[in-house]
Structure 1
Amino acid sequence: MKLDTQRYFIELAYNGTPYHGWQIQPNAMTVQECLDKALSVFFRQPVITLGCGRTDTGVHATQFFAHFDLLTESAFAIEQKVNSINSLLPYTIAIKRIFRVENDAHARFHALSRAYQYHLHFHKDPFKLDRSWLYKGNLDVEAMNEAAKLIASYTDFSCFSKSNTQTFTNNCKITEAHFDRVDDALVFTIRADRFLRNMVRAVVGTLIRVGKKEIDLVELAQIMESKDRRNAGQSVPACGLYLVRVDYPFVTADV
């Protein structure tokens, strides 16, 4: 970072349905591309954001953080510019707040934990289209919660990771994992210090197998210990997945 710039965090939410994920990629519309364009137009200088992680095509976020740097002469009262910047963004992306941080603060590397939720429902509902997975069948939710506890007792999640990813370790520390009934639906919540690519959707797909009585806890433990993605369940559709919380040591609920 140059000495004449100031770093900011931006908190946003987005409906991921029309986007090919967060991260900029060639020949595909992404959330980051839309955000960077809006910020660059507003501040009349090139702005490049760096996100707290990457979400896949069709995945949503109710809380997402990114950081970016601005020349100091352009950064006056930026916290009051949220509405103006939102007017430059599509309705599927909403900035919640922008706030100043230390110049070495990092949206990805300084995150203490992240939490995701996966939504599934059991009867056709037009208002849940592309926002929840319609599951046609019966599930043993109690067995799935017991299986979630078992998964959370492990640290190596190689069996839920895509192959050929650029990670030094597949170890994660899960601190929360459970299903809750919400009306005619289920919501799976999982929190950890880090997640592997496609991990949450693979976890849910494997827990669904438990709920369908296809595997039991003994077989689930064998899958975990195999560290082989081919043994775990299929990834569930992206439409039901939401990034819902990212925690930092220097970010409070109300800055």
Structure 2
Amino acid sequence: MSGSERNIALVLEYDGTGYGGWQVQPNAPSIQAEVESALETLLKSRVRVTASGRTDAGVHALGQVVHFRTRGRIPLKGLFHGLNSLLPPAVAVRRVHEMPPEFDARRSAREKTYRYRIHRAAAPSAFARPFSWRLTGPLDLTAMAEAGRRLVGTHDFAAFRAAGCGAVTTVRTVTAVDLIRRGEFLEIEVTGNGFLRHMVRIMVGTLVEVGRGRMTVGDVADLLARPDRERAGPTAPARGLVLVGVRYGTSPLGSFP
């Protein structure tokens, strides 16, 4: 059906296990391809969706925000139910919004929050494994929290980016790094205005090295002053990372999820 173009935002939740990441790619299934295929079936036309940012292979989301433009007139409730009936079980639409023309899921984003889950139980868990990194042995949480505070602020995070990162600048602003204990789990939440490739996972790997006594709080501060990826910690496994939500400042959307 024809008519004025609409700008639609979706809040997506997905289990990234078994996917090559958000972005369409030739040799692996992607979340983007699943969403665009469902939209094409529902709207009877090809649709390109833009996400707030790419998530890597195996990374999950509770509040990924995407937008697309369409002249289709299906009501929001119809889009919500129609898409959820077409998407695979690992991908779900949680909310649908009609947005002003200038809204862009990526360019309009102000902050993103990621959460990393570490499973600290003595026994493994079949249910926790796909969504956490199991670590045994003691961790100095006080030292980890202090090291996390050193990462807050506007810094050159070159030591915390993976090879192949195409970012023009490695300067980013991190507004919070919080450690939260929930039963058998340690959660590390990181909020910032943008992230380099694997940045949060390398931050987590570095904080774990501090917790194990293999690095010091001073070592972490020094990585910001003299960036060197070789001196930072390992990249934590993808399965423990989830995109919690995206904040859009004064946008009518407010915060997701």
Q: TM-score range by the shorter chain?
A: over 0.9
Could you tell me which residue of structure 1 aligns to residue 36 of structure 2? 36
Confirm or deny: 8 A CA contact 1:17 1:130 kept in the other structure: yes
Could you tell me which residue of structure 2 aligns to residue 90 of structure 1? 88
- Tell me the CA shift for residue 231 of structure 1: 1.3
Q: Distance in 2 between matches of 1:93 and 1:164?
A: 28
Report the secondary structure of 2:86's partner residue.
coil
Report the secondary structure of 1:61's partner residue.
strand
Could you tell me which residue of structure 2 aligns to residue 63 of structure 1? 63
- Tell me the CA shift for residue 224 of structure 1: 2.1
- Tell me the CA shift for residue 13 of structure 1: 0.4
Q: Distance in 1 between matches of 2:255 and 2:18?
A: 29
Q: Does 2:102 align with 1:104? A: yes
- Tell me the CA shift for residue 253 of structure 1: 5.5
- Tell me the CA shift for residue 136 of structure 1: 1.9
Change (3 A) 1:44 1:161: same
Counterpart AA for 1:159: A
Could you tell me which residue of structure 2 aligns to residue 25 of structure 1? 25
- Tell me the CA shift for residue 6 of structure 1: 1.6
Q: Distance in 2 between matches of 1:178 and 1:77?
A: 40
Q: Distance in 2 between matches of 1:164 and 1:132?
A: 25
Q: Share of identical aligned residues, percent?
A: 32
From 240, 251, 254, the equivalent of 1:252 is: 254
Report the secondary structure of 1:175's partner residue.
strand
- Tell me the CA shift for residue 219 of structure 1: 1.9
Q: Distance in 2 between matches of 1:245 and 1:115?
A: 5
Unaligned 5+ runs, structure 2: none
Counterpart AA for 1:222: D
Could you tell me which residue of structure 1 aligns to residue 13 of structure 2? 13
Q: Distance in 2 between matches of 1:9 and 1:28?
A: 25
TM-score where L is the length of structure 1? 0.94
- Tell me the CA shift for residue 47 of structure 1: 1.0
Confirm or deny: 8 A CA contact 1:79 1:97 kept in the other structure: no
Counterpart AA for 1:52: S
Greater alpha carbon shift after TM alignment, 83-92 vs 235-244: 83-92
Q: Distance in 2 between matches of 1:81 and 1:202?
A: 37
Could you tell me which residue of structure 2 aligns to residue 194 of structure 1? 194
Greater alpha carbon shift after TM alignment, 4-13 vs 17-26: 4-13
- Tell me the CA shift for residue 254 of structure 1: 9.0
Confirm or deny: 8 A CA contact 1:61 1:244 kept in the other structure: yes
Structure 1 consecutive aligned stretches of length 4 or more whose deviation exceeds 4 Å: none
Q: Distance in 2 between matches of 1:66 and 1:116?
A: 16
Report the secondary structure of 1:197's partner residue.
coil
Q: Distance in 2 between matches of 1:228 and 1:98?
A: 42
Unaligned 5+ runs, structure 1: none
Confirm or deny: 8 A CA contact 2:8 2:96 kept in the other structure: yes
Q: Distance in 2 between matches of 1:77 and 1:153?
A: 42
Confirm or deny: 8 A CA contact 1:79 1:99 kept in the other structure: no
Q: Distance in 1 between matches of 2:175 and 2:226?
A: 22
Q: Distance in 1 between matches of 2:148 and 2:256?
A: 32
Q: Does 2:127 align with 1:127? A: yes
